[in-house]
Chain A
Amino acid sequence: EDQVTQSPEALRLQEGESSSLNCSYTVSGLRGLFWYRQDPGKGPEFLFTLYSAGEEKEKERLKATLTKKESFLHITAPKPEDSATYLCAVQAILTGGGNKLTFGTGTQLKVEL
């Protein structure tokens, strides 16, 4: 069974204080690992897809990296508007599995002035 564990559950940062969020996963053949941002009462917003170990993707203050067991979402010099829940999800290579995603419970990030 595919599993995704995210840590920490919650993270409080001062504006400008860089940090990393962790996503550990076990999957029977990784098709892709995805990062999403979710604001309260909203659906998840797509951020990144990573396909293979060693891959990195960047967008503004966010950088996602991938190893064979985990992914990190690095946040550099965060701003209050980066406050949100960050979700990690994996998709397995499955015959007939379609595009099913398995999600972690997320890291709730709060960036304070």
Chain B
Amino acid sequence: GAVVSQHPSRVICKSGTSVKIECRSLDFQATTMFWYRQFPKQSLMLMATSNEGSKATYEQGVEKDKFLINHASLTLSTLTVTSAHPEDSSFYICSATPRGPEAFFGQGTRLTVV
């Protein structure tokens, strides 16, 4: 299967600071990547679709200025949580679809804002 790598796996930051999460496709090129958020015992919720070379598409209710997405190359998308607050603490996961509809996911990033 295709390999999607996410970094870091865990991050703790202070309230008010910004955190960047990277998502890389290691063995394929991805014109589109997806960012999800998962709360404990809840389903994955799509936050936004990252498009290489153009603006991301955000789901309803997701603040664009809060969650900045940059897809600068065919193998890298980044999610920056700006001015993080404790309620932003969550598990963030990216995915890509190298061929067909099957999505392959990164390892996830556990963000804790203190």
Contact = CB atoms under 8 A, between A and B. Distances in A.
Contacts, number: 59
A106 B43 contact: yes
A83 B34 CA distance: 27
A108 to B, nearest CB: 8
Interface in A17-65: 31-32, 34, 36, 41-46, 49
A67 interface: no
A99 B43 contact: no
Contact of A45 (B41, B44, B46, B105): B105
The CB with the most chain B CB atoms within 10 A, among A42, A49, A101, is that of A101
B85 interface: no
A43 B41 contact: no
Contact of B44 (A31, A41, A87): A87
